[in-house]
Amino acid sequence: MEDARDGAGGGTRLNRAKVLRWALIHVGALVGGSLFFSWSAVAVAMGLAAVTMCLGVSVGFHRGLIHRAFQTSRAMEAVLAVLGSLAGLGGVLGMSRMHHRRDYHQNQPDCPPYFGYSGGFLNAMGYALFFDSEARDESVYPPVDPRVAERPLFQFLERAGLWLQVPLALALYAAGGEAFVAWGLFVRLALTQDGFWAIHYVSHTSGEQPYELPGAAEQGRNTGWLALLSMGESWHNTHHAFPSSAQMGVGWRQPDPGFWAVRALEGLGLVWNVKTVSNLPLREGARHARPTRVHRSAQPVTAR
C-alpha cells in the first residue's frame, strides 16, 4: 500500500508488519497487564525498561555505536548491543541507518514530513511507528559504520528482532509467572515504543534552544521535564549542536542519566576517551543562540 505523502527524501510506505507487531504488543499489554497485576511485576517492567533504554539504547546504540562518543572493548559493545536490542525498538543497524537519514534531512533547509515535526504529534507518531521512508537517492546518506554493519553479532540481533524477547519471556515466567511476562514484556514494550517516539516529538517541538544551526530545518529542543524519563536524550538541542558528545545535559541543572552511566562505566575502566561538550567543538555551522537581551545596567529601555 503506497502512501501518497511524498517529500524531498522520497516516498513513504505503510509497513503492515510494523502495524501488526504494534497491535499485538498493545493488545498483550492491555489484556495481560489488566488480567495479571502485581507491584513486583511493575517494578520488573520499570527495571528492565531502564536498563534496556539507558544502557542499551541511549548509551550503547546512540552514544556509543552511532556517534562513537566514547571508546570501549568489543565485548562491552556486544553486551550493550544485546541490551539495546532487548528494548524492542529494532537492531543497531536499522537504528543507525534511520539516524543518519533523519540527521541528513533535519540539517537541510527543507525536511520531508517523515523526518520533520511540522505535521503535528499524531502525524509524527504514525510515520515513526507504522511507515518506512523510501529514499530517492540512498547515496546522499552516510553509510552505516562498517564496524557496525559487518559485525556478525549485530547482524544476528537485527534479524532476530522481537524473537529475542522469547528467551526473556521464559526467564520472566520462571521468575514470576504470567504477571512478570505481561508487565516485563508486553507493557514494557508498548510503553518504550510509544514513549520513545513521543519523546522524540516533544524534544523537537517544545523547549529551549541555546544553540542555533542556521539553515537546518530541525534543530532540536532542550526539554527539561523529560530529562530523567528520556535518559538525558531530551537535552536534544545540545545533541544537535554537539552530536559526537556522550554528554547531553550540562551541569547539575540538566540531569543526564545516560551520561551518568557513561561516567560510571568509565570509572570501572570499561569505557574510555569520553567525548563531552567541553572537549569538542560545536558542530560545523552551529553557534550559540543570540542571548535574549539582558540589561545589567539600570538604564531604562524605551519601548518602540
Contact (Cβ atoms closer than 8 angstroms) between residue 187 and residue 45: yes
Q: How far apart are CA 38 and CA 139, in angstroms?
A: 51
Minimum distance from residue 257 beta carbon to Zn ion (Å): 16
Site string for Zn ion, 212-231 (x = CB under 5 A): --------x-----------
Question: Left, alpha or beta for 210 (phi > 0: left; psi -120 to 50: alpha)?
Answer: alpha
**60 touching Zn ion, by CB under 5 A:** no
Measured CA to CA in angstroms, residue 181 lies from 27, 80, 199 at distances of 14, 22, 25
DSSP 192-238: HHHHHHHHHHHHHHSSB-SEE-TT-S----B-GGGTTTTTTTTBHHH
Measured from the CB of residue 216, what is the shortest distance to Zn ion in angstroms?
10
Beta pairing, strands 2-7 & 10-14: antiparallel
In the bound state with Zn ion, the residue whose beta carbon lies nearer, of 28 and 210, is 210
Residue nearer to Zn ion on the CB measure, 165 or 237: 237
Q: SS3 string of 248-290? A: CCCCCCCCCHHHHHHHHHHHCCCEECCCCCCCCCCCCCCEECC
The smaller minimum CB distance to Zn ion, of residues 34 and 279, is found at: 279
Asked if 280 contacts 104 with a C-beta cutoff of 8 angstroms, the reply is no
CB nearer to Zn ion: pick between 40 and 71 = 71
Residues numbered 238 to 297 that lie near Zn ion (CB under 5 A) are none
Q: Which is nearer to Zn ion, 36 or 201 (CB)?
A: 201
**In the complex with Zn ion, which residue's Cβ is closer, 53 or 179?**
53
Q: How far, in Å, CA of 127 to CA of 111, rounded?
A: 14
Name the nearest CA neighbour of 86 among 173, 161, 180, 18.
161
Least gap, CB of 262 to Zn ion (angstroms): 14
Min dist CB 27 to Zn ion, Å, is 31
Residue whose C-alpha is closest to residue 271's, from 247, 304, 295: 247
Using CB atoms, what's the residue nearest to Zn ion?
220
- Give the residue carrying C-alpha cell 547531553: 248
CB of 63 to Zn ion, least distance (A): 8
Q: How many residues bind Zn ion (CB under 5 A)?
A: 1
Closest separation in Å from C-beta 248 to Zn ion? 9
* In the complex, least distance from residue 154 CB atom to Zn ion, rounded to whole angstroms: 18
Least Å distance, CB 233 to Zn ion, is 8
| 2 versus 110: smaller Cβ distance to Zn ion | 110
Residues at the site binding Zn ion, with contacts judged by CB under 5 A: 220
